Chains A and B, each alone.
Chain A
């Protein structure tokens, strides 16, 4: 019975994501949402900003879409005309879209930027948010781009498992897998297999060998873990399930710091920032102050598990945190 429900849920999640993507794609850049005159919130609407149209991008998974909505709605509250393109496939696509001027900016994880765009080894990625941001910003500037300061929350890859598996095998840290991993299977996103900040890093730095690695769509990782088709899974620290089902899933501590943590930085062009004026950076930095790890997990849970739209979840966040009235 439980399996059937889960099945329905997984399918619904995928369908939902598809519909959402199609919806966003359909109205993406043409949907010019009119600016609402929100009164009473911390973000004040500046009539001068009405002359500027900003297009906010994001990659096409829930957390990114929520962030895209948070920034878009906040900028709208600040008086800007805002368009959205929250369906960019990967960081590569997002970056190219930004460079070509089709979007004004999009949220990117500092670690992803450093490793994927700039070829920096994960062990060279600064663990702290500020140095990582500064390093990423410097690299972006070489590419004619710039970035705003980081969010409080960081997202990182993590090795996760069912709590009962962790208890049975006595797993607390990734190092605890030594000598046991040969009998354990692992799942993760297809690209994880060869990435040094993923499976390749576990093999290289922890010297772990796994029984097998199953590549799966990121939306299927928890299903695969629950079904027992894999003993371990590469999860993200901000995953909704980690806060919603605390006693079911656990994360193993990355005691050798192989997975660089990524705080989100908003990447944009200096020319766009200049044209948009000071409220652009101010609003983005201000509105992300409330985005701590528990808050981000909660927002992810509302979208991924409770099936709220990213727009609705973002609006609720802005209201609850007092940014909009």
Chain B
């Protein structure tokens, strides 16, 4: 029987994985129903993307204001950097299980768990980015009569964009890669292919990994493009 099916026992091949992405395949545990294929790939990719955007949005909502505020004031380095680093050490799966009893499994749970992963890089990089802005420039801005919010948004933020975006890009990669564990808490993402080798076979696992990597690259390139748009002309000149 082995070999006729999308067997979990056979080693994966790039060709097999690509076939899995486009054509539904037979599986030996589904009772004849085919699995994989383009429509399922699209469906799971959309959920993975939705989840990533939601979690990234939530982590930005929390980390950006705090990072901007602390960076501008120049205080709370310990909080911004220390908390940021500590946050990276939280095991996702434990967090999801912990919240399962309190708020249940599902989209809310996974979004919060992934946001926790996105907060540290955004918080730390925002803080550091704002702090790194040349003090003389900031003083000059105050000297010409800018209010504090004007100093922050017209001088510090534009000059900190490269560092700030580095944080957001890091958070995005963390989140999109880790969103693969969502099927363990009620949300079907591309991780379904990776977690369920018995159903999808080795080629399915490889296909899932390839798709997540492609998605991460696509997000990375889009954000790099966005960063280019947001970076002021003066900064680009000085970098060149």
B-binding residues in A (CB < 8 A):
3-4, 6-11, 13-15, 18, 90-92, 95-96, 115-122, 143, 187, 190-191, 194-197, 200-201, 204, 214-217, 219-220, 223-224, 227, 229
- Return the contact of B98 from the options A10, A92, A200, A216 (Cβ within 8 A): A10
Contact B197 A11 (CB under 8 A): no
Q: Are A195 and B29 in contact (CB under 8 A)?
A: yes
Whether B31 contacts A191 by the Cβ 8 Å rule is: no
Across the interface, which residues of A come within 8 angstroms of B5, CB to CB? 119
Name the residue among B30, B101, B105, B183 with the largest chain A CB count within 10 angstroms. B101
Q: Are A10 and B183 in contact (CB under 8 A)?
A: no
With contacts A14-B93, A18-B93, A95-B9 taken as known, whether A190 is within 8 angstroms of B98 at the C-beta atoms is no
| Smallest beta-carbon distance B181→chain A, Å | 9
Q: Looking at the complex, which of B80-88, B153-161, B188-196 is the stretch in contact with chain A?
A: B188-196
* Closest CB in chain B relative to A144 CB, distance in Å: 12
Residue in A7, A190, A196, A201 whose beta carbon sits within 8 Å of that of B195 in the complex? A190
Contacting residues of chain B (113-160) with chain A, CB-CB under 8 angstroms: none
- Is A7 touching B9 in the complex (CB atoms < 8 A)? no
Set of chain B residues within 8 Å of A18, measured between Cβ atoms: 91, 93-94
Q: Contacting A11 at CB < 8 Å: which of B4, B29, B94, B106?
A: B94
Tell me the nearest residue of chain A to B191, going by C-beta.
A190
Contacts known (A96-B9, A119-B5); A216 close to B198, Cβ less than 8 A: no
Q: A14-B97, A119-B2, A191-B196 are in contact. Are A229 and B104 (CB under 8 A)?
A: yes
* Residue from B31, B96, B100, B198 in contact with A200 in the complex, judged by beta carbons closer than 8 Å: B31
Interface residue tally on B, bucketed by range: 35 or more
CB contacts (< 8 Å) of B9 on chain A: these are 92, 95-96, 117
Across-interface contacts of A4 in B (CB, < 8 A): 101-102
B89 at the interface (CB under 8 A from A): no
B226 vs chain A, min Cβ distance (A): 33
Choice from B8, B29, B106 contacting A194 with Cβ under 8 Å: B29
A139 and chain B: residue at smallest CB distance: B1
Contact assessment for B102 and A194 in the assembled complex, using a CB-CB cutoff below 8 Å: no
Q: Which residue of A lies closest to B184 (CB)?
A: A217
Q: Across the interface, do B98 and A116 meet the contact criterion of CB distance under 8 Å? A: no
Chain A residues positioned under 8 Å from B104 (CB to CB): 224, 227, 229
Q: CB distance A10 to B2 under 8 Å?
A: no
Contact residues of B with A, CB < 8 Å? Answer: 1-2, 4-5, 7-9, 27-33, 35, 91, 93-94, 96-102, 104-106, 183-186, 188, 192, 195-199
Establish whether residues A191 and B195, one from each chain, have CB atoms under 8 Å apart when the complex forms: yes
Chain A-chain B contacts (Cβ-Cβ < 8 Å), number: 131
Residues of B within 8 A of A190 (CB): 183-184, 188, 192, 195-196
From B4, B93, B96, B185, A119 is in contact (CB under 8 Å) with: B4
- Check if B2 sits within 8 Å of A200, measured CB to CB: no
Q: Which residue, of A13, A187, A227, has the highest number of chain B Cβ atoms within 10 A?
A: A227
**16 A-B contacts, Cβ less than 8 Å apart?**
A14-B98, A18-B91, A90-B198, A91-B198, A119-B1, A119-B5, A119-B7, A122-B31, A190-B183, A191-B198, A195-B30, A195-B199, A201-B31, A216-B186, A217-B96, A219-B97
**Out of A13, A15, A204, A217, which one reaches B31, CB within 8 Å?**
A204
Query: Is the CB–CB distance between B100 and A223 below 8 Å?
Result: yes
In the complex, are the beta carbons of B97 and A11 less than 8 A apart? Answer: yes
Complex CA gap A90/B104 in Å reads 26
Q: Are A92 and B197 in contact (CB under 8 A)?
A: yes
Known A18-B93, A190-B192; judge A214-B2 contact (CB<8 A): no
CB-contact partner of A215 in B1, B2, B100, B183, under 8 A: B183
Q: Which of B7, B91, B100, B195 contacts A220 (CB 8 A)?
A: B100
Kindly list chain B residues whose C-beta atoms are within 8 Å of the C-beta of A143: 2
Residues of chain A within 8 A of B185, CB atoms compared:
216-217, 220
Contacts of A92 in B (CB 8 A): 8-9, 197-198
When distances are taken between beta carbons in the complex, the residues of chain A under 8 Å from B184 are: 190, 215-217, 220
Residue of B nearest to A2 (CB): B101
Which residue of chain A lies nearest to B205 when distances are taken between CB atoms in the complex? A92
**B101, A6: Cβ atoms closer than 8 Å:** yes
B30 close to A200 (CB less than 8 A) = yes
Nearest-neighbour CB distance to chain B for A199, whole angstroms, equals 10
Residue from the list A3, A118, A121, A216 in contact with B105, Cβ < 8 A: A216
Distance (Å) between the CB of A256 and the closest chain B CB? Answer: 14
Which residue of A has the minimal Cβ distance to B104? A229
Shortest distance between the CB of B101 and any CB in chain A (Å): 3
A217 to B100, CA, bound (A): 11
Residues in A whose Cβ lies below 8 Å from that of B94: 11, 14-15, 18
* CA of A214 to CA of B199, assembled, Å: 17
With a cutoff of 8 Å between Cβ atoms, the chain A residues found around residue B28 in the complex are 115-116, 119
Is there contact, CB below 8 Å, between A196 and B30? yes
Distance (whole angstroms) from the CB of B2 to the closest CB of chain A: 7
On chain B, the residues within 8 Å of A195 by CB distance are 29-30, 198-199
With A7-B98, A18-B91, A214-B106 as known contacts, state yes or no: A197 contacts B198, CB within 8 Å: no
